[in-house]
Amino acid sequence: MKILLFGKNGQVGWELQRSLAPLASPGQLVALGTDNQTMCGNLADPIGIRKTIQTVKPDIIVNAAAYTAVDKAEQESQLAQVVNAAAPGVLAEEARRLDAWLIHYSTDYVFDGSGDRFHTEDDIPNPLNVYGKTKLAGENNIIAADCRHVILRTSWVYATYGNNFIKTILRLAQERDQLRIVSDQIGAPTGAELIADVTAHIVRSLRTRDNKKPISGRYHLAAQGYVSWHGFAHYILSQAASANVSLKTTTGHLYPIPSTEYPTPAVRPLNSRLDTTKLRNTFDLHLPGWQDGVLRTLSEILVNQQSRV
């Protein structure tokens, strides 16, 4: 089986290289980033990625590439539209031509965050910002192309590799005496490692499952449970303190604030909780609580920091 991965240098893409390698035939995992010199891996170049797919002829395309600068997208809407909306449509068209599967990642930001329940795949999207609108357009372009596909919406992604909320909180807590963190946005921190492992499980299922069963569609993938950004930060600092990390900001000086006190160019949804029932039932999965992955990743980050001292 030949697998073509876009976005190898991102948080999820980095982990996907590990999880997908054992599933591909020897030498048949082709992982591309925007800096690839031999084949185009840059989703800002739809013509180039079309040629890449036609050259590689994969059995499965996994797209972990995206324009993810949420606030910057408000000013760079055209680029976000190309990368998040037009390019996935090209991937889907080529997947259909090859009768290949396309696995694509989307976001909780396709919802407006209203209500106080978990969003299901059947809920009507209503994105509040350019990033969410372009990601939803990408989903719709994939579905319109009528290829075999699995779209995985996820939320609050973090990893040992790359920049994310965990690393930001640790850095700020070592620099400042107090922190003020938004407390009215709710979601599930979801590790790139979990996303990659679930993706690998899905790929295995695609190889063995009765193809007559209709599994193409959207699925929600997030760790179990939920927390606010303030609660997330509190957990990070409490675990760091338990590991004897020197911090200027203790949990007692971590203050909750409403979103209105931390305005950003892009409006964020208040409720980002995703119902994962469909994913768990379809692929026979158990998803861990959000604390499990955060603790493991935090431990790895701290070990890496200590090794550099």
Kindly name the residue from 105, 109, 131, 226 that is annotated as catalytic.
131
Question: Are residues 274 and 219 in contact, defined by beta-carbon separation less than 8 angstroms?
Answer: no
Q: Which residues contact residue 270 at a Cβ distance below 8 angstroms, ignoring those fewer than 6 apart?
A: 113, 114, 184, 185, 186, 259
Q: Which residues contact residue 283 at a Cβ distance below 8 angstroms, ignoring those fewer than 6 apart?
A: 198, 201, 202, 205
How does pLDDT run across 97-107, given as a tens digit for each residue? 999 999 999 99
Q: Which of 276, 287, 262, 148 is nearest to 215 (CA)?
A: 148
Average pLDDT, the chain: 92
Tell me, yes or no, whether 95 lies in a domain. yes
Question: Are residues 99 and 64 in contact, defined by beta-carbon separation less than 8 angstroms?
Answer: no
Q: Which of 166, 161, 148, 112 is nearest to 290 (CA)?
A: 166
Range of the domain at 61: 3-155+191-223+273-288
Tell me, yes or no, whether 114 lies in a domain. yes
Tell me, yes or no, whether 151 lies in a domain. yes
Kindly tell me the burial class for residue 197, based on how many C-beta atoms sit within 10 Å of its own C-beta (0-12, 13-18, 19 or more): middle
In angstroms, the CA 106 to CA 110 distance is: 8
pLDDT score recorded for residue 24: 84
Ramachandran assignment for 156, one of left (phi > 0), alpha (psi -120 to 50 degrees), beta (any other): left
In angstroms, the CA 206 to CA 214 distance is: 11
In angstroms, the CA 20 to CA 76 distance is: 32
Q: Which of 187, 154, 171, 191 is nearest to 294 (CA)?
A: 191
Local confidence band at 190 (pLDDT 50, 70, 90 cut-offs): very high
- The amino acid occupying position 147 is C
* φ/ψ of residue 123, rounded to 5: -65, 145
Q: Which residues contact residue 93 at a Cβ distance below 8 angstroms, ignoring those fewer than 6 apart?
A: 50, 145, 147
How does pLDDT run across 244-294, given as a tens digit for each residue? 888 888 888 999 999 999 889 999 999 999 999 999 999 999 999 999 999
Q: Could you give the 3-state DSSP secondary structure of residue 77?
A: helix
Tell me, yes or no, whether 107 lies in a domain. yes
Element containing residue 153 per DSSP (H, E):
strand 148-154
Report DSSP state, residue 119. B
**Is 262 tagged catalytic?**
no
pLDDT score recorded for residue 34: 83
pLDDT at position 73 over 60: yes
| CATH code assigned at 105 | 3.40.50.720
pLDDT at position 222 over 70: yes
Provide the domain count of the chain.
1
Q: Which of 25, 5, 22 is nearest to 13 (CA)?
A: 5
Tell me, yes or no, whether 209 lies in a domain. yes
pTM, to two decimals: 0.93
